[in-house]
């Protein structure tokens, strides 16, 4: 039996970001759902990609772009989390997505979208923009989660302390497992 590969993508480059903490917590929920047959990898691509420039988006791709595309293509599913900056998607995440709009790695790929904010708005504007972008790229949005007042739901170490948030992450993990199982059955 092959291992299910999950790629986690945090729009925040901050080492101790709430979005990264939520991705790690979702990874733990996925481990509970999948058991030993699943691996989650948090990409560093957003730290390394140059600003998108169509003039240099040629074959062969720049090494960092080629690696980002390879990570996406190899993943069975992708988890995206974004903070909200100035009522929009994190620039690093938008830049990374711009590099794969035309290359197709997200077409029909199961994805989960998470937006977290310290405000009551729960990164709503960023989530709306992220979901539009992801759907234009023909990804399969399995589930979304908007988290308001995120810092009040995490310990100083980044552990989820809010039972409702824990339940929501477990629910997303179950949705993703079910979606991947349906996909495996239909591809047989």
Q: Which fold has domain 4-186?
A: Rossmann fold (3.40.50)
What is residue 115's predicted lDDT score, i.e. its pLDDT? Answer: 94
Task: Please state the pTM of the whole predicted model.
Answer: 0.94
Which secondary-structure segment (H or E) carries 147?
strand 140-147
SS3 164: helix
DSSP states along 82-139: E-EETTEE-HHHHHHHHTTTTT-TTTT-EEEEEEE-SSTTTTHHHHHHHHHHHHHTT-
Extents of the domains making up the chain: 4-186
For residues 96 and 80, the answer to whether their CB atoms sit within 8 Å is no
Sign of CA dihedral 31, 36, 38, 41: positive
pLDDT at 26 over 70: yes
pLDDT at 188 over 60: no
120-162, pLDDT tens digit by residue? 888 899 999 999 999 999 999 999 999 999 999 999 999 999 9
- Looking at the chain, the whole-number percentage of residues with pLDDT higher than 90 is 81
SS3 59: coil
What is residue 1's predicted lDDT score, i.e. its pLDDT? Answer: 52
SS3 62: coil
Per-residue DSSP letter, 44:
-
pLDDT at 186 over 60: no
Q: How far apart are CA 39 and CA 7, in angstroms?
A: 8
Q: How far apart are CA 183 and CA 110, in angstroms?
A: 9
**How far is CA 135 from each of CA 26, 48, 126, 130, 161, rounded to the nearest angstrom?**
22, 25, 14, 8, 32
What is residue 14's predicted lDDT score, i.e. its pLDDT? Answer: 87
């Amino acid at each position: 039996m092959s291992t299910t590969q999950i790629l986690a993508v945090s729009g925040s480059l901050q080492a101790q970001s709430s979005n990264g903490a939520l991705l790690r917590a979702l990874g733990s929920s996925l481990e509970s759902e999948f058991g030993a047959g699943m691996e989650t990898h948090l990409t560093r691509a957003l730290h390394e990609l140059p600003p998108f420039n169509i003039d240099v988006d040629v074959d062969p791709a720049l090494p960092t772009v080629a690696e980002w595309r390879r990570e996406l293509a190899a993943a069975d599913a992708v988890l995206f989390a974004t903070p909200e900056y100035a009522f929009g998607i994190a620039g690093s995440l938008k830049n990374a997505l711009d590099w794969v709009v035309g290359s197709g790695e997200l077409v029909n790929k199961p994805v989960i979208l998470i937006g977290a904010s310290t405000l009551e708005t729960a990164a709503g504007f960023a989530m709306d923009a992220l979901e539009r972008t992801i759907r234009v790229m023909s990804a399969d949005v399995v589930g979304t989660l908007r988290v308001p007042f995120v810092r009040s739901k995490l310990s100083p170490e980044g552990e989820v302390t809010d039972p409702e948030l824990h339940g929501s992450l477990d629910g997303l993990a179950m949705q993703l497992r079910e979606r991947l199982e349906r996909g495996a059955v239909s591809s047989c």
